[in-house]
Structure 1
Amino acid sequence: MNRFYCAVFAGVLALAAVPAMAEEPPLEIVGMGSFHVGGRLAEITGQPVREITFTPGGTPAKVDPNGRYAVEQMYVQWFRPRAQRGRVPLLLWHGGGLSGVTYETTPDGREGWLNWFLRRGWTVYNSDAVERGRSGWAPPEVWSAPAIHVPIGNPFERFRIGQGEGSYSDDPAKRRVLPGSQFPVEAYDQFPRQLSPRWTTTDEPTIAAYVALVDKVCPCVIVFHSQAGQFGFKVAQARPDKVLALVAVEPAGFGDPAKVDVLKSIPSLMIYGDFIEQDSRWPTIRRNGVAFAERIRAAGGSVDVVDLPAAGIRGNSHMLMMDRNSGDVAQLIQTWLQRKGLWQ
């Protein structure tokens, strides 16, 4: 355990000791809605006019694909509780190949973090990032790079649910699950149904859309997962006056190291799950995250790093907001935010 981790761990270990509420607060909302934010207009020219029958038996229509297209926008849905206790809104940003469904529910049908934080009085904004879900897609003439699609067994092996490469089988009885895993493996087949195509060339418009969201609804707290690690930190670096706290849930990317001093006034929490040392990739990913946290601290900032097993919360996969003990992790985040004076 390095010196940095020892320094912050003593201050955050008690977070896990706060028990989850025995009975869930009521879910009462007084408003909900949605909007799109960000994006641009892209023009396509030189394409042939086509005649298309949209419905079997219908009358063909001529479709001219030349013209301007709305692309790279982001879909956002918001919910406002009756009793507001969060001092600012809570923004939920999902990881790679996923969408806002990440926070809506779990594979075995339990409520997700969206409802969990709503029940505790947070106004919540849940988004589908650029090129995901309800945000829409651009024509191939605009996004020329191919989309990445992963087979259904990929998350099982890569997200620390199964025992690494080769642990997935189409036969559930033959799947090799990590001992002690809290992921609801009996319902795993529900999880890959929410996967979305992913591009590796849309980071800049995604950051631009998130900045536009922050400009529209913040000051706020941002909770972000996995691929959104770089989005959360870079957007905070772009708008440090609008972001009051950052919660990085197993971040796979980070901000600009040359601008870490911009983050010194924004308290941050980094959370890592279980089985990291048994994985081929995650020891390096976590090490890079701690190194980025150390740079923020060296610039005068505050970052708490929590390894859940060391804090008494065990068995978490990379999708810890879907694990059976997701409420314990949410309570840890809630307690940290309360101690930062962001909840009343």
Structure 2
Amino acid sequence: MKNSTAARLTRALALSLPFATLMGCAQAPIQLEKMGSFHVGGREVVLSGRPVKEIALTAGGVPAKFDPNGVYQVEQMYVQYFIPKDPRGALPLLMWHGGGLSGVTYETTPDGREGWLNYFVKKGWPTYNSDAVERGRSGFAMYPDIFQTEPVYLTKENPFERFRIGQGAGSYSKDPQRMKLLPGNQFPVEAYDQFTKQNVPRWTSTDAPTIAAYTELVDKVCPCVVIVHSQSGLFGARVAQARPDKVKALVMVEPAATGAVEDATKMKNVPVLAIYGDYIAQDPRWPTIRANGGRYFDALRAAGGNVDVIDLPSIGIKGNSHMIMMDKNSDVIAGIIQDWLVKQRLYK
């Protein structure tokens, strides 16, 4: 009896929900019309002259002949999309992550709170989250045959000291009691180990194929809004300069680099929001990075562009690290972005 009742209830729910519903334990449901993924970009490379080997592909397995000569597919980019059942964002929202990271940046916070991906999907934005060329599910290629530089790997200490979580060099410790945190820091440091598990190798010679893949993505799904972080500030600016008719707004979260000042006129019709966190003045690198961004934004304004720059401490929001979308007040900053997009008339 109980089993038949459960079966009827399951069938009733299936019939009443023709769309996807994703639910967390204590989270509101996300109702989707559809979700999926695809790859963009990439090229074929032919390698020859390599010795043929026999390799056991599984432990204890029978060795198989492995010929490394032939055609390889490389430099593609993975994209996952989430289309709400009742979309309210006037355009798709594209999320581009920073260096040494992947689309996981936006999926969830290290301490298990919902990430910006969920936030904006719940607001009704059709959202596209990607793993850039040479990251995560996009895959990587051989060095030095295809990628011209060796991969860069981060130590566990590096993000803690460089992303304005700790007080610079020597501030990280495995013992939380000995960590030297910046005062009032918003990063969920109790989950720092979880964050470092997201780190992936990066290359310094793949900007061109990355920009090519992002451009192909924009050509495929836009007009759109693009959110960039850190390294992808360069990619977002370059793609927006190349496709100003398709990038209808660019949100730059602590861009580590931007576009060329001399190309600023190409972006005069693309509204820009730039957001910076705390502790910049006392960091050895970020004052220069921030000043470079300031010159670019001044050039955009001089070209007639619409640029809003928010230094969070100046509006009373203090303690944010470089990883703003993971900080404890991440939803507050997402709300600032949402309000700005509403003002740009990009929300229904």
Fold-level match, TM-score > 0.5? yes
Residues 172-321 of structure 1 mapped to structure 2, 5 A cutoff: 172-321=176-325
The corresponding residue for 1:163 is 167
The corresponding residue for 1:53 is 56
Q: Separation in 2 of the partners of 1:236 and 1:177? A: 37
| Amino acid aligned to 1:221 | V
Cα deviation code 1:279-311 (max 9, x no counterpart): 111111111101100001001111100001111
TM-score, normalised by the number of residues in structure 2: 0.91
The corresponding residue for 1:98 is 101
8 A contact 1:313–1:328 mirrored in 2: no
Residues 74-85 of structure 1 mapped to structure 2, 5 A cutoff: 74-85=77-88
Q: Once the two structures are aligned, what percentage of the paired residues are identical?
A: 62
Please tell me whether Structure 1 or Structure 2 has the larger radius of gyration of its CA atoms: 2
| Amino acid aligned to 1:317 | S
Query: How far 1:172 moved relative to its partner?
Result: 2.0
Q: Separation in 1 of the partners of 2:343 and 2:103? A: 27
8 A contact 1:81–1:123 mirrored in 2: yes
Which structure 2 residue ranges, 5 or more long, are not aligned?
A: 1-25
| Amino acid aligned to 2:97 | H
| Structure 1 segments (4+ residues) deviating >4 Å | 23-26
| Amino acid aligned to 1:30 | E
8 A contact 2:135–2:200 mirrored in 1: yes
Q: Separation in 2 of the partners of 1:144 and 1:315? A: 38
Which structure 1 residue ranges, 5 or more long, are not aligned?
A: 1-22
Superposition RMSD in Å = 1.1
Match of 2:76 among 73, 76, 83: 73
8 A contact 2:34–2:82 mirrored in 1: yes
The corresponding residue for 1:335 is 339
- The answer to which structure, 1 or 2, has the higher relative contact order (CA under 8 A, 6+ apart) is 1
8 A contact 1:157–1:168 mirrored in 2: yes
1:194 partner SS: coil
Does 2:24 align with 1:39? no
The corresponding residue for 2:12 is none
Q: Separation in 2 of the partners of 1:116 and 1:263? A: 28
The corresponding residue for 1:325 is 329
TM-score, normalised by the number of residues in structure 1: 0.92
Cα deviation code 1:231-273 (max 9, x no counterpart): 0000001111101000000001111222110100000000000
| Amino acid aligned to 1:285 | I
| Amino acid aligned to 2:206 | T
Q: Separation in 1 of the partners of 2:319 and 2:215? A: 34
Q: Separation in 1 of the partners of 2:155 and 2:276? A: 25
Q: Separation in 1 of the partners of 2:179 and 2:159? A: 13
Query: How far 1:24 moved relative to its partner?
Result: 7.8
